[in-house]
Amino acid sequence: MLIVLAILHILLLWNVANSLECYTGFSVIRGQTVGTTKEICSKQSDSCYRAMANVNLLSTVKKAGCSTIRCYLNKNKCIEQDLFGSKAMFCCCDDRDLCNTASTSFAVIISIIAPLYFIL
C-alpha cells in the first residue's frame, strides 16, 4: 500500500513539475496592473496568453492566463490589430514559465543601456 501511495505521489509531483505557470488577471482601468497573480496550467497543451485593447482614454482591457483554444493558431507570437479604431494586441507563449509578462518601458531601457555601460 505504501509503495502505491509513493508512486502516486511521484506521478503527481512529475505532473506539477512539467506544467506551465502563467500570470493571470483581468483589468479594465488604464494603468491597473495585470499579472500579479499566477496559475499553473491544467492541460499539457496550454499556453500562456496576454491580451490588451485600448478602449478609450480611461479604459484599457487587459487579460492574462492559460489557454489551449485561444492560442491554437497563435503559438509563441504576438498579433496586433486595429479593432474599431482601437489598437489590440494578443500574445501567446509556452517556451518558459511566466512568459506572458508585459514588457515595461523600464525593462526595455535597461536592456539597451546595460550593454552600453559595459562596452563604454
pTM over 0.75: no
Question: Can you give the residue ranges of every domain in the chain?
Answer: 19-119
pLDDT tens per residue across span 5-26: 344 444 444 444 579 999 999 9
Residue 49, pLDDT above cutoff 80: yes
Residue with cell 482614454: 57
Stretch 49-58: mean pLDDT, rounded? 89
pLDDT of residue 29: 81
pLDDT tens per residue across span 90-105: 999 999 999 998 754 4
Stretch 80-92: mean pLDDT, rounded? 90
Residue with cell 509563441: 76
- 3-state secondary structure string across 38-103: EEECCCCCCEEEEEEEECCCCEEEEEEEEECCCCCCCCCEEEEEEECCEEEEEEEECCCCCCCCCC
pLDDT of residue 84: 81
Which CATH code for domain 19-119?
2.10.60.10
